[in-house]
Chain A
Amino acid sequence: MSVRTITIDDQHVSVEEGSSVLDAAKAAGITIPTLCHMDGVYDTGACRMCLVEVEGIPKLLPACSTIVAEGWVIHTQSERLKKYRRITLELLFAERNHVCAACVANGHCELQTMAYSQGMDHVRYDYCYPKWEMDLTHPLFGMDHNRCILCARCVRTCWHIEGAGTKNVAGRGGRAHIITDMNEDWGDSATCTWCGKCVQSCPTGALFQIGATAGEMTRDPGRLNDIITARRKKQWNV
């Protein structure tokens, strides 16, 4: 087995031949932000969050889908890269309707977490407010296109982990969207195995378990009772 020795953010690391820049960074304990990358399925280089600079190469390279070469000197945290990452996130938040406060994934969302970690504290572009629908036809799972970032992790999971080939991408540009089979209701799908793997792969609140949403909405009237009782009995000093 052959080894490649490289420098990432001033650290020297040796990795196996054929390792990606992302693998190498991991080995060096450096975190490169990713959205479309998912361990276990092939990389597509789609989200561009993981772009890094390599000295001597004019183009920025996606860490997830670039194989390291001997002697590379890589920078993953330059001000320029950080700026591009923040813009990428701003663009995503402006593109669809990411209303975190009303989202099933609030607090468990890779997009939201990424925005925090990359210091994206506001969006300078006008929001597009597109009209996307939800598909709630499946008995177990739901899809909310308003939250989708088109990372296609669900598609790759469905094809290459489950092997069902139910999920696909249709349409171009801003009209690109995830479809089920030949653009049918998820509930009508003859290929979906109900495995739910796509839901597990989704970084945002676009794919969710129907039960989970309802679960979050369980009411606890007891908490109201406490307040009402306390007020009635004038247990608080106001």
Chain B
Amino acid sequence: MTLNELKEIKEAELAARKKTTIRCCMAAGCTSQGSGDLLKNLKAAVKEAGAEDQIEVRGVGCMRLCCQGPLAQADPEGPLYEKLEPSDAKAIVTAALDGSIAKLQTGDPTQPFFAKQFSVVLGNSGEIDPERIESYIAADGYMALRHALREMQPAEVVQEMMTSGLRGRGGGGYPTGLKWQTVSKARGDKKYIVCNADEGDPGAFMDRTVLESDPHAILEGMTLAAYAVGAEQGYIYVRAEYPLAIERLQKAIKQAKKAGLLGAQIMECPFNFSIDLRIGAGAFVCGEETALMASIEGKRGVPRPRPPFPAESGLWGCPTLINNVESFANVAPIIRNGAKWFADIGTEKSKGTKVFALAGKITNTGIVEVPMGTPLRQIVEEMGGGAPDGGTVKAVQTGGPSGGCIPADHLDTPVDYESLSALGSIMGSGGMIVMDETTNMVDVARFFMEFCRDESCGKCIPCRTGTVQMHHLLTKIIEKKATARDLELLEELCDMVKHTSLCGLGMTAPNPVLSTLRFFRNEYEELLQENPYAAPPVTTA
């Protein structure tokens, strides 16, 4: 693939655009509700109307307002149709032809949910056809790679990532550029790139959205990383529960190979890079980087102590760069638009945007991307529409089983790494679960503890058996069988498990308990019973 060929593909794509485009969401949320048939019917309706030269029907990635799906929108400036049935196709096409609005449920594309979004990672989501490489190229796809391979030294790519200030989106927030630099400087004949697509937090679906909506962006980001650090082989570790993401990645890899964008002599440069998929078998702990690598090597997916870090000794003992899906999705936009452009978005220490998956007791369930530093209130109340049916938001849970609950009176907190940690929660990977006043916080803590108990790999004692005991103590409290002594035991265990566990799963498993205790201690105390064996109060005669 040469620059001219890239440009030709883009021009041909743009030239083939019709007067009207009907975009129909083909991400997992909408397809699970029948948008596949809707797309078929839309195409058939256009054909039937003989309007193929006027209307393009395009299956696209996530259109974000998942709770109102299946979604479709007619461009330019057409309405956003919601809750569609496959049988609605004809009405949409007819309306598109005469410029009217079909009598279907429509949403306002200018409402805050959409208007307040800021797209870096999801720029192509809901716009391009994720199953066609041409569609990605038409949106300037692979231009960043072309630019880097021809105009930049690997060290300059690393420097650009350092300057951008991007921090890992997989939960830890480690500076991406620094990690790339360590791997690029590590000595080793062979190096590997790994994309962590094992997204396992309950309620989180950001990475799935990116993979299903823009798979080539991940391939381009990984290829740029490979060029920067000197790797020839990459793996995407994706969970088996994401069949559509797997299918689209496989398609994208095939297309990229065919186009000379993966494989040998990429873009006719002396640079080789291949990507293979590895499918996870459903263990949350396999998202932890050392467990993930063990799993890729064909071993039991359990973590090992770090150091050595993967950057020095990863896959088969070789230096390995491992980043999250969303981290890689930021790479091509950074190289394309420059580190400075990226660093101007967000806050002092948290640059760029963050994608959140809104779930729980919230009106607008779906995907939002906002600049770092956006107040939680704007995300939850303005964009998310607050709690449904006139309820009030009680708390917002971020960071899944490793995170914490932020009470409603802290909703003005900006979302950035430091502010969320200061509240005892974490940015995490982007799951955001909203709770209303009907939620009991001890139940919430127990739910996440149950998750950690079941997902602990069982290797180290504090996590394997500490989570069992903490879950048991929480159950006792909920069943009103616990005394103040049990709460003390629980707090002591939280401290112990947090500080002695081998990997992040155990180290963070107590967080939901600690954070609910911090802000909602009364809900625990209300459930405690008198100790029947307590010594009677001392009375003085």
Give the Cβ gap from B70 to chain A, nearest Cβ, in Å. Answer: 36
Q: Are B300 and A169 in contact (CB under 8 A)?
A: yes
What is the 8 Å Cβ interface bit string for chain B, positions 493-514, against chain A (1 contact, 0 not)?
1001001111000000000000
Q: Are B458 and A94 in contact (CB under 8 A)?
A: no
Contact partner of A172 (CB less than 8 A), chosen from B454, B492, B496, is B454
Q: Are B469 and A174 in contact (CB under 8 A)?
A: no
Q: Are A88 and B304 in contact (CB under 8 A)?
A: no
What is the 8 Å Cβ interface bit string for chain A, positions 1-30, against chain B (1 contact, 0 not)?
000000000000000000000000000000
Which residues of the other chain, A, contact B499 by a CB distance below 8 angstroms?
59-60, 84
Judged by a CB distance under 8 angstroms, whether A199 is at the interface is no
The stretch that binds A, out of B97-105, B167-175, B459-467, is B459-467
Size band of the B side of the interface?
20 to 34
Q: Are A94 and B305 in contact (CB under 8 A)?
A: no
Q: Are B500 and A88 in contact (CB under 8 A)?
A: yes
User: Which residue of chain A has its CB nearest to the CB of B463?
Assistant: A173
Judged by a CB distance under 8 angstroms, whether A215 is at the interface is no
Which residues of the other chain, B, contact A124 by a CB distance below 8 angstroms?
489
- With A48-B500, A60-B500, A150-B458 as known contacts, state yes or no: A128 contacts B464, CB within 8 Å: no
Q: Are B465 and A45 in contact (CB under 8 A)?
A: no
Judged by a CB distance under 8 angstroms, whether B6 is at the interface is no
Q: Interface of chain B, helix or strand or loop or mixed?
A: helix
Q: Are B496 and A46 in contact (CB under 8 A)?
A: no
Give the Cβ gap from B282 to chain A, nearest Cβ, in Å. Answer: 10
Judged by a CB distance under 8 angstroms, whether B367 is at the interface is no
Judged by a CB distance under 8 angstroms, whether B186 is at the interface is no
Q: Are B496 and A173 in contact (CB under 8 A)?
A: no
Give Cα A55 to B457, complex, Å.
30
Quick one: which of A51, A84, A149 has the most chain B CB within 10 A?
A84
Which residues of the other chain, B, contact A84 by a CB distance below 8 angstroms?
496, 499-500
Judged by a CB distance under 8 angstroms, whether A206 is at the interface is no
Q: Are A150 and B502 in contact (CB under 8 A)?
A: no
User: Which residue of chain A has its CB nearest to the CB of B500?
Assistant: A48
- With A44-B304, A84-B500, A95-B465 as known contacts, state yes or no: A173 contacts B489, CB within 8 Å: no
- With A65-B305, A84-B496, A87-B493 as known contacts, state yes or no: A169 contacts B465, CB within 8 Å: no
Q: Are A172 and B465 in contact (CB under 8 A)?
A: no
Q: Are B460 and A128 in contact (CB under 8 A)?
A: no
Which residues of the other chain, B, contact A94 by a CB distance below 8 angstroms?
465, 469
Give Cα A95 to B489, complex, Å.
16
Give Cα A139 to B285, complex, Å.
37
Q: Are A125 and B469 in contact (CB under 8 A)?
A: yes
User: Which residue of chain B has its CB nearest to the CB of A149?
Assistant: B461
Q: Are A62 and B305 in contact (CB under 8 A)?
A: yes
Which residues of the other chain, A, contact B469 by a CB distance below 8 angstroms?
91, 94, 125-126
Q: Which A residues, 106 to 154, have Cβ-Cβ distances below 8 Å to chain B?
A: 124-126, 128, 149-150, 152
Q: When A and B form their complex, which 9 residue pairs have the shortest distance between CB atoms, in order from nearest?
A: A176-B458, A173-B456, A45-B305, A91-B465, A95-B465, A48-B500, A173-B458, A87-B496, A125-B469
Which B residues lie at the A interface, using CB under 8 A?
283, 285, 300, 302, 304-305, 453-462, 464-469, 472, 489, 492-493, 496, 499-502
Which A residues lie at the B interface, using CB under 8 A?
44-48, 51, 59-60, 62, 65-66, 83-84, 87-88, 91-92, 94-95, 124-126, 128, 149-150, 152, 168-169, 171-176
Q: A88-B500, A150-B458, A174-B453 are in contact. List 7 more A-B contacts (CB 8 A).
A: A47-B460, A48-B462, A88-B461, A125-B472, A172-B285, A173-B464, A174-B456
A-B contact pairs, 18 of them (CB 8 A): A44-B304, A44-B305, A62-B305, A84-B500, A87-B496, A88-B500, A94-B469, A125-B469, A126-B472, A150-B461, A169-B300, A172-B283, A172-B455, A172-B457, A173-B458, A173-B467, A176-B458, A176-B464
